[in-house]
Structure 1
Amino acid sequence: MARDGDSNEPTTQFPGLPAGDDHPGSAPRAGGGGPARGLLWVLGAAALAVVVLLGVQATGLLPEFRNPFTKEQTDRSQPPLLLSIRDLSRYVAAEGNYQVVVDLQNDRRNVPDWLLNERTLFVGAGTVEAYVDFSTISEGAIVRSADGKSVEIRLPAPQLGDTNLDMESSYVFAEERGLLNRVGELVGGDPNRQQQVYRLAEERITTAARDSGLTQRAEENTRKMLEGLLRSLGYERVTITYVAP
């Protein structure tokens, strides 16, 4: 039976859907998707380009790609300069390890600390060597007996070497600065302030080494070393005396 009007005409649209919209099950029309489809094409092309470049780089045809913003370090230090060379003939007989606490404060009278004050609490660690300088032994300092069984040696008294401040084990425990001091640091600061703390720590360590009997320990160790050496050479009696250098 014939239907009324155009009901027998074929259609590609579901009732209630506007013309031109894709519906489930239907193939998308050419040119559909608009900007979204263009973005997918761009991303696909970029990924393909990366894959191609990596493959070419793996074959060695292109140089290795590097980060243009990578961190670089340039060393412009001057070459070392030889100042002097000297031969050492000292016997290090003892070494002391010390630790001191330096509490250094610089302020002004009648000025509050919050305005003008510098206080540093520094823990300094260092070593001091006690040595005997064999190069100062004079002629006649070694006297052997006629029978060759005894020997007497006069040595210079042990001395203390320079204090070696260990910067890896030393540290600033606390530091206080007034308002004007902080402003001065922003402008230029005082480059000699830390050197003053270091020198004071070295002086304290040197004093501690002198008071700890390090030179007496060096005398005993040197005497034992020489007695053992000379007795192995056949001497039965060994006498070691120390004189002021």
Structure 2
Amino acid sequence: MTTPLKRINRRMPGWAKAVSALVLVLVVFFAGIRLSVLPGLKDLFGTETKDRSGPALLQSIQDMSRYDAASGNFQIVVDLEKDAKFLPDAIRGSRTLYVGAGTVDAFVDLGKVGKDDITVDKNRTSATLRLPKAALGRPALDPERSYAVSKQRGLLDRIGDLFSDNPNSEQAVQKLAVKRIGDAAKDSGLTARAESNTTGMLKGLLQSLGFKEVTVTYGT
């Protein structure tokens, strides 16, 4: 008995069968390359992740002389939009709403303190220390607390992601978040808190060694 599918298959010319087969091969090929485009589809094929990374190699060691006296936690909402000239957003363009959370440390570099910056009286009961001003470290973005709220991309951008080695890259918004966090740290009074904490630490340390009067100042 001839099924309807076989009858249709017989009516198709040879070139049509070849084109159909080629399309099927291309679909399977690109599906294998971008399998992650369809959530959950990888599980049907039993994918397995193997870590073949080599051991970490120690390249250098640096002695730390700075005293981390304060740390600030910051959160910023980044709304980054990229538009293309002469093309509507539905065709080319992107907009990402990203929540960036990170920390900035404030420190005093005690390694810059020289002999002339420390004065002790003859009775060793009074000490004066002149330290460099507190500075800010580099902002560190916390990947556990940072995330994209929404992403809008044009048709050409979505197609480009299919052939990209790093689809949906958030590098641009992450860099902007780090910059915004760094700018916020400068206006937060974090360095003043670091200097106050450093003063308290040194006074407590020297007073435990017998000094009754301890003065700490900060230079340029």
TM-score, normalised via structure 1 length: 0.67
What's the RMSD between the two structures over aligned residues? Answer: 2.0
Aligned equivalent of 1:140, options 116, 121, 124:
116
- Say if 2:79 is the partner of 1:120: no
Deviation at 1:72, TM superposition (A): 4.9
Q: Is the 8 A contact 2:120 2:126 kept in 1?
A: yes
Unaligned runs of 5+ in 1: 1-68
SS in 1 for 2:170: helix
- Counterparts of 1:1-245 in structure 2, within 5 Å, are 72-188=48-164, 193-244=169-220
Instruction: Answer yes or no: is the 8 Å Cα contact 2:161–2:168 preserved in 1.
Output: no
Letter in 2 for 1:234: G
| Structure 2 unaligned residues grouped into runs of 5+ | 1-44
In the other structure, the counterpart of 2:16 is none
1:190-216 per-residue CA deviation (whole Å, 9 max, x = no partner) reads 669422211111111111111101000
AA aligned opposite 1:168? E
**Secondary structure, counterpart of 2:76 in structure 1:** strand
Deviation at 1:171, TM superposition (A): 0.4
**Structure 2 Cα separation of the partners of residues 181 and 103 of structure 1:** 18
Residues 86, 191 of structure 1: alpha-carbon distance in 2 compared, 3 angstrom cutoff: farther
Larger RCO: 1 or 2 (CA < 8 Å, sep 6+): 2
Flag the structure with higher helix content.
2
Structure 1 residue 180: deviation in Å? 0.9
TM-score after normalising by structure 2: 0.74
Say how many residue pairs are matched: 176
